């Protein structure tokens, strides 16, 4: 189930230490071998000790059951007759630049007795050498034209890189065998057009199987030979695909430096792609083009030739263990899947098929507590929907009496349904239809963490856990559960006992008084090192003191949805349990459907100032978001103001402005909840959303603000992805729809960064103005120096703070100040090491780390980062909307992923 939260992380140091220790032990055994002949029992004992050590380390990235389940499956897939059935791993040339980390990941698998077939490319290395030798690379249709000189260089480069990887593995005590020929037979792809480029016609797996039987990892290049012995160059991705068709492995892994496939508009990583369900629609998306379209087409063609149990994963080398041994996975998982159904009758599913599924999988039936007839009889007098996939690898039954909260009474998944993530697809289909849901699972369910991850809350009694999503208020949960019990829809074991209203709980803080449930969680995964911290901090105590969060559905209008921020916001709103997007306005896109919002069909309109005033007067929406360029939203805000005057006192809509127009305006509340009053935001109707750079800068400086050396300026150097530069309208697409393109393109940056607005950037004044409110003496405002740059990645800001200190501090003191300041903040992550782009890109929170102090103790340096489209804009906007509309601050925001 690879769509789970990616919270569990494997310590790179732990991996390296375990592999190196095992390598040294192996080297010692080999040294003994040279002098004496050790017994087979001794060698087997050492090997088992290595395996046990690495296996225990795997428990740090997933549950023990997860790890052991995957080890068992992978080990059984490579029997003696087909030893190469575990995985094919294709390594991009760029990944070879970090060969030590790559070797550690591969050695890790070797230590637990797994033998992937490894095939590598060497494109970047080849380009570098042929250009230095005066050969100009030539491509046709994305295929490298290969003449004799290019092939000569390519062969040399491939052999060098192959031996370099083998040497790195051998250095760790991992046996590896270089296989640079004899596997691929090819014919010319098109000799006149591409030269010495091959199309694979046959794969000989015997050298690979011989290597694995000899206890060595096979390391291949993508060079092939024709029938008459001519060496031919073959694209490494295509060679890996042909290899997989022959071997039919459980996993085909493509290692690249990006760590996955990404949405071309929002920049978010695509966790899972189910080809049978999504391929056609995905290929129609305007952002799916060029290399992305080619990759998806190749993946589909490959998986169509493999068993449905096979899947493709696109990940980074350091995520290999998490991808293979945890349900949560790591990068992008591509699988065939099956098309889903939902039917309102047993006959539409097939009564005999459904009875068989219940008989084979229902825990209650298997234990004798229920019967198949009883399960089906319970459906006779209640409206229900049956969800599932075509082969019934997963079946879910949701009872849904009119006007009542639905209950998922059965969730029955086969082994294949769990392993291939079909259970996620079915659950997501249910969630799309039902904004609230309750369901139960046995307390000893081996997939219990899966249920926790998808629930907003749970409690456990009498060996069963009750889960739910869509309700944030504990008292409402009690009321709903009591209603279930009174109508016989749920076991009496779940009827609350003790006080009728349990104390409200924020995070993991233990409530006072008697607690009626054995456990209480809210978006917390058991065993996770992160979760909800105690309510000791200002933030948590402020949240705890508020009234219960509203669950009333409300309506939102968005003006200016064409840009990247608008697109990111509409995507997030698709997951909001209560807030519904009813209007989107864009002059250029009028009449076209909004594709990034999936809760309901919405069409772009072109709202005039008069339209806005009329809608506000008539109360058509509850909130407005202005996602317009700086300087142009005032007429729309004025229109809302005029319309609200025609309504009763206090009934006017909330306005959140994403531009800089009102960040300095009296009467507007500045919406940075982690630093300034949440109560003020809750009471406000006019909220200015902070700038992305300004958000990161203020979060960096705030914990140290009372320690700044008088008369000195903190300096923040910020680097943002090019999406932060905004968008312009591009040429129409194939359907005539105007396209959105970035103002600054990666090509224009030529692989580097471009500093701009070196002095007097508006975010200097914005951050300084609001930070001064935190000073003991605000009459002496703080100033900061801010230097921004734009970089050739899509989204994500990295900010480096250098701050002069009035008193000497140690690095640990600085970290303690940050931990105290942000204790309990769900969208703040504090780490020891310096954050990097993957820590912030596509993330909803802010990450800080790398706490260092100059040797003289008078200057601190701290690094923070966020995604400029999310916490720097859309996610923060949703926090402010939630507070102002009375919702839980984090409704619709996946805080468990932070």
Give the catalytic positions in this structure.
692
The DSSP annotation for 333-359 comes to EEE----EEEESSHHHH-HHHHHHHHH
Closest-CA residue to 333 (of 241, 451, 251, 452): 251
Alpha helices in 229-284 (DSSP H): 236-247, 275-284
Count of C-beta atoms within a 10 Å radius of residue 140: 12
Query: How would you label 383-396 residue by residue, b for 16+ Cβ within 10 Å and e otherwise?
Result: ebbbbbbeebbbbb
Closest-CA residue to 438 (of 464, 473, 405, 472): 405
C-alpha distances out from residue 426 to 7, 42, 54, 274, 394, Å: 22, 49, 34, 12, 7
Torsion angle, CA of 446/450/452/453, rounded to 10 degrees?
160
Which tokens belong to 421? 């993530």
Burial of 750 (0-12, 13-18, 19+ CB in 10 A): exposed
Beta-bridge partner residues of 217: 176
Contact of 700 with 716, CB cutoff 8 Å: yes
C-alpha distances out from residue 893 to 70, 245, 390, 865, 898, Å: 31, 41, 32, 18, 10
C-alpha distances out from residue 795 to 71, 117, 725, Å: 36, 35, 10
Place of tokens 């005039």: 608
Closest-CA residue to 372 (of 344, 387, 351, 345): 351
Helix 12-35 crosses helix 40-58 at what angle (to 10 degrees)?
180
Contact of 441 with 467, CB cutoff 8 Å: yes
DSSP state of 265: T
Beta-bridge partner residues of 312: 252, 334
DSSP state of 874: I
Phi/psi for 446 (5° steps) reads -70, -20
CA distance 485 to 504: 22
Beta-bridge partner residues of 397: 386, 410
Contact of 417 with 337, CB cutoff 8 Å: no
- Which residues touch 210 (CB under 8 Å, ≥6 apart)? none
CA distance 875 to 894: 10
Helix/strand/coil for 804: strand
Contact of 303 with 275, CB cutoff 8 Å: yes
Alpha helices in 606-691 (DSSP H): 609-618, 634-645, 678-682
CA distance 123 to 718: 32
First and final C-alpha spacing in the chain: 19
Closest-CA residue to 499 (of 510, 490, 512): 512
What HEC string does 508-575 produce?
CCCCCCCCCCCCCECCCCCCCCCCCCCCCCHHHHHHHCCCCCCCCCEEEEEECCCCHHHHHHHHHHCC
Strands (E), 390-524: 394-399, 407-413, 437-442, 457-461, 464-469
- For the four alpha carbons of 405, 411, 417 and 420, in that order, the dihedral sign comes to positive
Contact of 435 with 461, CB cutoff 8 Å: no
């Amino acid at each position: 189930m690879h769509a789970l939260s990616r919270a569990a992380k494997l310590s790179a140091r732990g991996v390296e230490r375990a592999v190196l220790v095992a390598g040294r032990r192996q080297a010692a055994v080999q040294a003994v071998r040279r002098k004496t002949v050790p017994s087979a029992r001794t060698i087997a004992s050492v090997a088992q000790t290595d395996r046990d050590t690495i296996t225990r380390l795997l428990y740090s990235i997933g549950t023990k059951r997860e790890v052991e389940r995957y080890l068992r499956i992978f080990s059984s897939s490579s029997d003696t007759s087909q030893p190469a059935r575990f995985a094919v791993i294709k390594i991009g040339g760029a990944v070879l630049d970090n060969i030590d980390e790559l070797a550690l990941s591969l050695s890790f698998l070797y230590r637990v007795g797994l033998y992937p077939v490894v095939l590598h490319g060497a494109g970047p290395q080849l380009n570098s050498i042929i250009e230095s030798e005066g050969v100009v690379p030539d491509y046709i249709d994305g295929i490298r034209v290969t003449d004799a000189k290019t092939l000569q260089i390519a062969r040399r480069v491939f052999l060098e890189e192959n031996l370099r990887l083998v040497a790195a593995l051998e250095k760790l005590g991992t046996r590896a065998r270089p296989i640079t020929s004899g596997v691929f037979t090819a014919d010319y792809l098109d000799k006149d057009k591409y030269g010495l480029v091959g199309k694979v016609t046959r794969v000989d797996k015997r050298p690979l199987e011989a290597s694995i039987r000899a206890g060595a990892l096979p390391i291949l290049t993508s060079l092939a030979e024709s029938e008459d012995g001519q060496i031919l160059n073959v694209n490494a991705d295509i060679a890996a695909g042909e290899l997989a068709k022959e071997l039919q492995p459980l996993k085909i892994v493509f290692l690249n430096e990006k760590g996955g496939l990404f949405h071309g508009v929002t920049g978010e990583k695509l966790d899972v792609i189910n080809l049978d369900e999504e391929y056609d629609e995905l290929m129609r998306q305007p952002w799916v083009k060029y290399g992305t379209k080619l990759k998806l087409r190749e993946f589909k063609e490959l998986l169509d030739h493999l068993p449905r149990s096979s899947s493709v994963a696109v990940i980074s080398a350091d995520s290999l263990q998490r991808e293979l041994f945890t349900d949560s996975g790591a990068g992008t998982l591509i699988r065939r899947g099956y098309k889903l159904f939902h039917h309102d009758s047993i006959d539409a599913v097939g009564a005999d098929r459904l009875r068989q599924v219940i008989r084979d999988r229902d825990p209650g039936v298997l234990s004798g507590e229920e019967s198949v007839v009883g399960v089906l009889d319970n459906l006779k007098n209640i409206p229900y929907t049956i969800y599932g996939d075509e082969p019934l690898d997963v079946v879910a039954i949701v009872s849904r009496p009119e006007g009542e909260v639905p209950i998922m009474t059965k969730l029955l998944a086969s082994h294949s349904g769990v392993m291939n993530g079909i259970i996620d697809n079915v659950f997501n289909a249910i969630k799309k239809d039902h904004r609230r849901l309750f369901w139960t699972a046995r307390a000893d369910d081996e997939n219990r963490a899966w249920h926790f991850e998808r629930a907003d809350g749970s409690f456990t009694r009498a060996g069963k856990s009750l889960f739910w999503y869509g309700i944030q208020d504990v008292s409402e949960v009690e009321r709903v559960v009591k209603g279930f019990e009174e109508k016989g829809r749920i076991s009496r074991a779940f009827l609350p006992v003790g006080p009728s209203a349990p104390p409200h709980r924020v995070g993991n803080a233990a409530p006072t008084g008697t607690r009626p449930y054995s456990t209480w969680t809210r978006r917390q995964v058991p065993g996770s090192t992160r979760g909800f911290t105690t309510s000791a901090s200002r933030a948590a105590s402020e949240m705890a003191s508020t009234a219960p969060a509203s669950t009333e559905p409300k309506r939102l209008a968005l003006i200016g949805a064409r840009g990247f921020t608008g697109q990111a916001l509409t995507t997030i709103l698709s997951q909001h349990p209560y807030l519904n997007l009813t209007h989107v306005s864009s002059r250029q896109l009028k009449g076209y459907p909004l594709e990034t919002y999936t809760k309901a069909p919405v069409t772009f309109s072109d709202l005039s100032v008069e339209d806005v005033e009329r809608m506000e007067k008539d109360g058509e929406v509850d909130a407005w978001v202005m996602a317009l360029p700086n300087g142009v939203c005032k007429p729309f805000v004025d229109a809302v103001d005029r319309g609200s005057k025609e309504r009763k006192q206090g009934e006017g809509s909330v306005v959140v402005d994403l531009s800089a127009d009102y960040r300095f305006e009296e009467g507007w509340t500045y919406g940075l909840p982690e630093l300034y009053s949440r109560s003020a935001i809750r009471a406000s109707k006019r909220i200015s959303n902070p700038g992305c750079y300004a958000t990161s800068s203020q979060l960096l400086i705030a914990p140290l603000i009372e320690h700044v050396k008088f008369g000195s300026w903190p300096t923040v150097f910020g680097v943002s992805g090019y999406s932060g530069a905004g968008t312009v309208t591009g040429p129409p697409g194939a359907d005539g729809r105007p396209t959105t393109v970035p103002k600054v393109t990666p090509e224009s940056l030529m692989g580097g960064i471009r500093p701009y607005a070196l002095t007097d950037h508006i975010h200097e004044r914005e951050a300084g103005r609001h930070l001064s409110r935190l000073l003991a003496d605000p009459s002496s405002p703080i100033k900061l120096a801010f230097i921004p740059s734009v970089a050739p990645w899509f989204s994500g800001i990295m900010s480096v703070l250098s701050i002069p200190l009035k008193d000497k501090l140690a690095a640990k003191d600085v970290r303690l100040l940050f931990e105290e300041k942000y204790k309990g903040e769900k969208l703040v992550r504090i780490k020891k090491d310096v954050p990097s782009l993957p820590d912030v890109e596509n993330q909803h929170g802010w990450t800080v780390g790398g706490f260092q102090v100059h040797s003289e103790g008078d200057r601190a340096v701290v690094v923070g980062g966020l995604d400029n489209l999310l916490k720097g804009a859309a996610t923060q906007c949703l926090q402010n909307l939630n507070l102002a509309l009375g919702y839980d601050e984090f409704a619709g925001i996946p805080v468990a992923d932070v």
